[in-house]
Structure formats: structure tokens, C-alpha cells
């Protein structure tokens, strides 16, 4: 008690603050989400995500080498497929010569030590923009799982280190583990989007992939029948625990900064690493506010990333990964 205890003694300068700091960040804490498109030498900025681009495979490989040199050890990859390849089955998702499969092979060939975690969901391949197959006006859970297993196995065949199911179908982690093992991919891991909320923070991401649900009165207008209600907390713990029981090697909470209470709850409940996705809307808000001079970009970026780590994240998937790694390396 005061005056015997004075908390400010441990804050008097940066040297002592660094000695007693409870949470630290390094580039290896980050995973970099990347968007891939067809073509060669293609680099198109996403208007709602300043500084983030859709790149062709050749330029994606260059970027992967650059971020690996910065100390980033994982990438989470997404593809924008041509409209002509979309249908209600998602069959292009497991095409062995598809854009995702070629991208995985190219990245692993050029940078074998980079951990590649491709997204597994049908929305980039769906004419409806949903994460699953539409039957009788709703998302067919089990039929979607069967399709997603084919997709995951094709990713493993291409060289993926982990598969990252973001669909939120019931029971899909167990089906993935069974399917991967049956195909001989016992060492390919599963990073499950366990607590993925039906959030308005995903808008810029859907612009990047043109994957928003279409306006059709005969199908769900949004993703609330499978993504989680953002009013719920206990449900997130239940979902994460079920995924671990089904074989998930890592679980994810998404979004990030607005859901730090969920991150801590999940971290306390599971015995596997917890990944947090610092999502596109959170990225875009910082960019927009800093462009207007309302926030200090680098300071708020690092504060948010530190807070996510402090809440319990073992790995942070963030569009700021490259910028933050550059700052940390300085």
C-alpha cells in the first residue's frame, strides 16, 4: 500500500517498462492474408482496403518472399475466381488445376518454409455468395461438408500446411480430419474458424473477392444461419471446444478488436493455440481515420495488435502484418 508501493517506479522510463512488459509482439506472431487473381503481373488495389492488393500468382510469390524476409511465417490465402467458374456446387474449389491449387504449389515451391493456410469455404465459388450449397432455400450443412472435404484434400495435395475452414458448418472439422487422414495427409493441420461472428466488419473483404450474398428472395439474405450471433459469448466457447474435440489443431475468433472478451474466454477454455483475425473492416477504419489525421496510424495499429495478443492470441491474422513487421524490425 502507498507509500510503500508506488506503481510508477516500474514506469519511470522505457528501459524499466521494457523489462517488466507482460506482452510482446514479433513478426512471427502474424499471419498475412493475401488475395490472388488470375493473370500475370497483375496488381489491383482494393478500394476499401488501402495498401492491400489482388495479385496474380507471380506477384504473390514475390510478396511471400518479402514478408518471409521480414519474419512473418504464415500466409492465409484467398482467391478471386472468374464468374464463369461459379455455380451452386462449388466444384471449381477442388479443381486440381484451379487458381488456389496453383497458388499453393507456387508459394511452397518458392518459399518452402512459409506456412500456407488456404481458406476453405465455397463463397468465392458460389453463384449465391454463400459459404455452402443451397438446397430448398437454405444452406445444406452435410452436402456442404462433403464438398468442403474435397476442397481441403485438394489443398493438401497442392502442398498446404494447414487448411482453414471458415464456413461455420456443423461437424465439418471431424469430416475434414477424417477426409485428410483417409487421403494420407495426417500431418496437414486444421485451423478452424470456430467463433466466426455474423459481423458487419467483413464488408471490405467481400469487395475484395466479390463474395457477398446475392440479393435473391429465395435464399438467405445474409450469413446469420451459420455464422454466430454477436450477442452470444457462451456459444463461442462451445463451438471452440467442439472443434477441438473433432480434431482442430488451432481455433480462431473472428473479428478481432471488437471481440477481445471472446478471445480471452476461448483462450481460457481450450488447450490449443488461438488465432484471431483482425478483419478488413477493422483495418479499413484505421486507414480511413489516419488519412484524415484523426488517429496516428502506426501507434493505433500497434496498440490494437498488442491488445489482441494480450487478450490471448497465439497468432494474429492481420492485413497490417507487413507494416507492423517493418516497424518491429526497426
Query: Catalytic amino acids?
Result: 196, 254
The answer to whether 102 and 96 are in contact (CB under 8 A) is no
Judge residue 249's burial from the number of C-beta atoms within 10 Å of its C-beta, 0-12 exposed, 13-18 middle, 19 or more buried.
middle
The answer to whether 205 and 160 are in contact (CB under 8 A) is no
Q: Is residue 265 a known part of a binding site?
A: no
Spatial CB neighbours of 91, under 8 Å, sequence gap ≥ 6: 125, 147
Q: Torsion angle of alpha carbons 215, 217, 220, 224, nearest 10°?
A: 80
Q: What angle is formed at CA 281 by the lines to CA 234 and CA 31, rounded to 5 degrees?
A: 80
User: Cell 465439418 belongs to which residue?
Assistant: 172
User: Cell 511452397 belongs to which residue?
Assistant: 108
Any bridge partners for residue 35, and if so which?
Answer: 54, 78
Tell me which H or E stretch contains 281: helix 280-291
For residues 131 and 112, give the distance between their C-alpha atoms in angstroms, rounded to a whole number.
30
Binding site members for Mg(2+): 239
Amino acid at each position: 500500500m502507498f507509500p510503500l508501493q508506488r506503481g510508477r517506479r516500474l514506469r519511470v522510463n522505457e528501459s524499466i517498462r521494457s523489462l517488466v512488459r507482460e506482452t510482446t509482439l514479433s513478426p512471427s506472431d502474424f499471419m498475412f492474408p493475401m488475395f490472388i487473381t488470375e493473370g500475370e503481373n497483375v496488381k489491383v488495389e482494393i478500394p476499401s482496403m488501402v495498401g492491400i492488393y489482388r495479385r496474380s500468382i507471380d506477384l504473390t510469390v514475390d510478396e511471400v518472399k518479402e514478408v518471409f524476409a521480414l519474419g512473418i511465417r504464415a500466409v492465409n490465402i484467398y482467391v478471386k475466381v472468374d464468374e464463369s467458374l461459379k455455380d451452386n456446387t462449388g466444384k471449381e474449389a477442388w479443381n486440381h488445376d484451379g487458381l488456389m491449387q496453383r497458388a499453393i504449389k507456387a508459394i511452397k515451391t518458392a518459399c518452402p518454409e512459409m506456412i500456407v493456410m488456404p481458406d476453405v469455404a465455397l463463397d468465392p465459388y458460389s453463384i449465391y455468395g454463400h459459404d455452402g450449397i443451397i438446397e430448398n432455400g437454405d444452406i445444406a450443412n452435410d452436402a456442404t461438408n462433403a464438398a468442403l472435404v474435397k476442397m481441403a484434400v485438394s489443398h493438401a495435395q497442392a502442398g498446404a500446411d494447414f487448411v482453414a475452414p471458415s464456413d461455420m458448418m456443423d461437424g465439418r472439422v471431424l469430416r475434414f480430419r477424417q477426409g485428410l487422414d483417409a487421403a494420407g495427409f495426417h500431418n496437414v493441420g486444421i485451423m478452424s474458424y470456430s467463433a466466426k461472428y455474423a459481423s458487419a466488419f467483413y464488408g471490405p473483404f467481400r469487395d475484395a473477392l466479390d463474395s457477398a450474398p446475392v440479393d435473391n428472395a429465395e435464399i438467405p439474405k445474409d450469413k446469420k444461419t451459420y455464422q454466430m450471433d454477436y450477442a452470444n459469448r457462451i456459444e463461442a466457447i462451445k463451438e471452440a471446444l467442439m472443434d477441438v474435440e473433432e480434431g482442430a489443431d488451432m481455433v480462431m475468433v473472428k473479428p478481432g478488436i471488437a471481440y477481445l472478451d471472446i478471445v480471452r474466454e476461448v483462450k481460457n477454455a481450450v488447450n490449443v493455440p488461438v488465432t484471431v483475425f483482425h478483419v478488413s473492416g477493422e483495418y479499413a477504419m484505421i486507414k480511413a481515420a489516419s488519412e484524415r489525421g484523426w488517429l496516428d496510424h502506426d501507434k493505433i495499429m500497434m496498440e490494437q495488435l498488442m491488445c489482441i495478443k494480450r487478450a490471448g492470441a497465439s497468432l494474429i491474422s492481420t492485413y497490417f502484418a507487413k507494416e507492423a513487421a517493418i516497424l518491429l524490425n526497426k
